[in-house]
Structure 1
């Protein structure tokens, strides 16, 4: 097999701790399969901005164009102007046309003890995928400020942009044998959401086997708490998806459980995978951050870049088996369980790889 080139962007804070665990996961897979990887380390984020005035240099950005895919940690350090470190992520998403942001939300059975909801609200479990439009909307950074007295952010949707994310979401639901798809908007107030809902309803006619439903964003946030078990595929715009996926991650443990893929569905495109958590400077360097979101981001890489659901399933099962006995502090229950061991970042990654090796040896 031709070696696959992967850019590794550790970034700032805990990114420097979790990306190495993702790399070790890839190396374990290479050891037991035909996959071979070449890794390219790329610097980006707050520390880079302090040195160069750019969160990612032009030379580094050009190198990203040469790889097959990207694994990112987290960007941002205290004391910088708002948004300058994170600009690198936005640029990568825009220039590589990564218009799909995929965020699976799954509560492992052994982690029901960490879910803040009562059993009546968990019921059959939480297993949904939030699909977020990643290139338009209010995060497009169209706007500015006038003499520090007035600031404007423009929310712009195009028919083409909305259609393509909805097509992806509908096809994703069908491919994953789901029965329902939920759209989230604010069509009672926003023109952009009215267009979104209209296109959702029109495109939905092509998928007769799927149940379609639309929620206003405020109502959805309520039902996400009351009956998260009722959602399968959820599709929404950029800002709404950012907010509700963070809310949903808290239901399955913490942001440290949240993986994401910034996907360009074109087979020749370059996609980027990252945990949804930030750089967490308050715990950086303590070896207590949760690497699971990064490991699960590698899972998404195999499913959506390498089209290998077998390896994806093996990673998911390895994580599920590892958390039965081992947890980082963010997902350790308040009521101490004698069956559980609180572990470091590196040990958590190691336990996952041990479980993964068992599966890959079969």
Structure 2
């Protein structure tokens, strides 16, 4: 009997439409090779900056209700010149992640064969780590306001407050420890700036120390964010799972992807681990207006996000096959311009699908034998 996964696709803006289309091709190829075990039922929502131009909002007021019954959300990128960035982010992406309590954000840092890294340490060693980002509170809680503008130019005051709760810190830190137990290197690096931010991030440090006592099999370290930025560059071989607050993990994960070769490689999963709401999977890169519609954007971040979605559904072998296909494609020289190549979005997608079909056929032959 075929299991059908209902997926809400939100391409949104710019290159989002191109990379979501590429990811769908790969995921549909996975389903086609499953011998009827599962399929994907896609529903696409036309939300984003163009929708805003027509309706004055990034998504309709009942948009969250429309998404509730889907098994997952596959997101592209949001942002265009007709909408201020903070409006587009809070009007769509953060509207979904906050209201669906997608509190765990996973961002793997992948160094792929055939991709030149600016990091010399990547030349002679295998580097692979995961940034776990607290995704529901911290610096992106949205607390604060702007006041006193009526007093005239130069008198307005803006207050932006970070929110750290014991519960919020514990659940993401515990998530990181559980993830570390699944990896060959069982280590969690906690990142804060608690020497300067002496309330919320000291609470984080205290919760980390408390939770760590329950995981004696997992190595730990607590590192200030500036020192961790240096470690990403100078000693990346010491990293396995890095857990940090909303803002710090956002910045560090972008640094990791740049070290791996390009933000176009970066995948992410916004998870509601309890399953009360659908989780959302998206590439880390933005809408890239400068190259949108030219067919040259890098689809790997979106395709790798699709692999994270497969793993979320428990389709581990299929997720691994997609990741192996990405490695085969880049190793064979199928690289977009951001990686120093000349391949188009379609070229890379086709190469990954072709490698994927071979990978899945090999897996099937092994199982049959």
The question of a shared fold, defined as TM-score above 0.5 by the shorter chain, is answered with yes
Give the conservation status (yes or no) of the 8 Å contact 2:14–2:78.
Answer: yes
Q: Which residue of 2 aligns with 1:93?
A: 97
Instruction: Find the aligned partners of 1:63 and 1:319 in 2 and give their Cα distance.
Output: 33
Length-normalised TM-score, structure 1: 0.94
Measured after TM superposition, the shift of residue 49 of structure 1 is 1.3
Partner of residue 274, structure 1: 282
Deviation, 1:123, is 4.2
User: Does the CA-based 8 Å contact 2:102-2:270 persist in structure 1?
Assistant: yes
- Displacement of 1:150 in angstroms is 0.8
On the 8 A contact 1:221/1:244 being kept in 2, the answer is: yes
Q: CA deviation at 1:361?
A: 1.6
Instruction: Trace 1:1-362 onto structure 2 (pairs within 5 A).
Output: 1-33=2-34, 34-87=37-90, 88-111=92-115, 114-119=116-121, 123-148=124-149, 149-190=156-197, 191-304=199-312, 306-324=313-331, 325-332=333-340, 342-362=342-362
Q: Deviations over 1:214-239 (max 9, x none)?
A: 10001100111111122000000000
C-alpha deviation, 1:85, in angstroms: 1.4
SS in 1 for 2:158: strand
**Compared CA separation, residues 122 and 166, structure 1 to 2 (3 A):** farther
The Cα of 1:108 is off from its aligned counterpart by: 1.7
Secondary structure at 1:323 match in 2 = helix
* 1:335 paired residue number: none
The 1-side partners of 2:171 and 2:106 are apart by: 14
Secondary structure of the corresponding residue to residue 3 of structure 1: strand
- Mean alpha-carbon deviation: is it higher for 349-358 or for 45-54? 45-54
Separation (CA, whole Å) in 1 of partners of 2:11 and 2:128: 28
Query: 1:59 deviation in Å?
Result: 3.6
Separation (CA, whole Å) in 2 of partners of 1:58 and 1:236: 32
CA drift of 1:145 comes to: 0.8
Instruction: Note the aligned Cα RMSD (angstroms).
Output: 1.3
Structure 1 residues without counterparts, runs of 5 or longer:
333-340
Deviation of 1:122 (Å): 5.2
In 1, the alpha carbon distance for the partners of 2:346 and 2:283 equals 16
Are the equivalent residues in 2 in contact too, given 1:122–1:229 (CA < 8 A)?
no
Is the Cα–Cα contact under 8 Å of residues 29 and 35 in structure 1 kept in the other structure? no
Aligned to 2:43, the other structure's residue is in SS state strand
1:300 CA displacement: 0.5
Indicate the residue corresponding to 1:338 in structure 2. Answer: none
Do 1:55 and 1:86's aligned partners in 2 also have CA atoms closer than 8 Å?
no
Separation of aligned partners in 2, 1:103 and 1:291: 16
CA offset digits 1:271-297 (Å, max 9, x no partner): 000000000001101101000000000
Q: Distance in 1 between matches of 2:238 and 2:183?
A: 16
Alignment size in residue pairs: 350
TM-score when scaled to structure 2? Answer: 0.92
**CA distance in 2: counterparts of 1:59 and 1:41, whole angstroms:** 15
Q: Is the 8 A contact 1:122 1:228 kept in 2?
A: no
Q: Distance in 2 between matches of 1:122 and 1:211?
A: 26
Q: Is the 8 A contact 2:113 2:330 kept in 1?
A: no
Distance in 2 (CA, whole Å) between partners of 1:274 and 1:164 is 22
For residues 170-222 of structure 1, the C-alpha deviation after alignment (integer angstroms, 9 at most, x for no partner) is: 00110234321100001111111111011101100111111100100011001
> In 2, distance between residues paired with 1:206 and 1:214?
16
Question: Secondary structure in 1 aligned to 2:3?
Answer: coil
Distance 1:145 1:314 in 2: 49
* Higher deviation after alignment, 76-85 or 244-253: 76-85
